[in-house]
Amino acid sequence: MLVVGRNIKILRERKKITQKELAEKIGVSRQAICMWETGKRELSLTTLSRLCEVLGVPIHYLIGGVMARKGEKKVKFQLKAPTATKVAVTGDFNSWDLEGIQLKKDRSGVWSTEIPLKPGRYQYKFLVDGQWVTDPENKLTVKNPFGTDNSLKEVL
């Protein structure tokens, strides 16, 4: 549920819509929006559908199941970080968005996600509890303008 809430907040902020404005557009209270964004309340399918209409996204985007479009391949990103509380990946595939794309943690402490990408070369880094981390499992790197390395992934 937290992924849905985070996606709602990210989209709402990108569209420069306040919680109050979004609440008015879908006919709920501002407090309901706040509860959804923090994962403290679940949404009904009807409400989820209305949110998608207002935010202009398909339902699978909000629930985290991003589907690949024609010409794209699902690319797996993963990082072993058993003590981390939050891990995201960001790169030139999402304009280095500081929110990043959230990864999910499994029981062994490995965080992972799949992202649909078109063939090409992509620079990326993980954000682990707010700290930039290159991919320790990927030896392909390039220098960035800050003098540090970015991980590099090639999608064929």
**Predicted pLDDT at 64:** 63
Q: State the CATH number of the domain containing residue 108.
A: 2.60.40.10
Pairwise pLDDT comparison (29 vs 58), residue with the higher score: 29
SS (HEC) of 68-135 = CCCCCEEEEEEEECCCCCCEEEEEHHHCCCCCCEECEECCCCEEEEEEEECCEEEEEEEEECCEEECC
| pLDDT classification of 118: cutoffs 50, 70, 90 | confident
Q: How many domains does the chain have?
A: 2
What is the structure's pLDDT at 151?
A: 98
Considering the domain architecture, whether residues 79 and 151 belong to the same structural domain is answered as yes
pLDDT of residue 68: 53
CATH number for the domain harbouring residue 16: 1.10.260.40
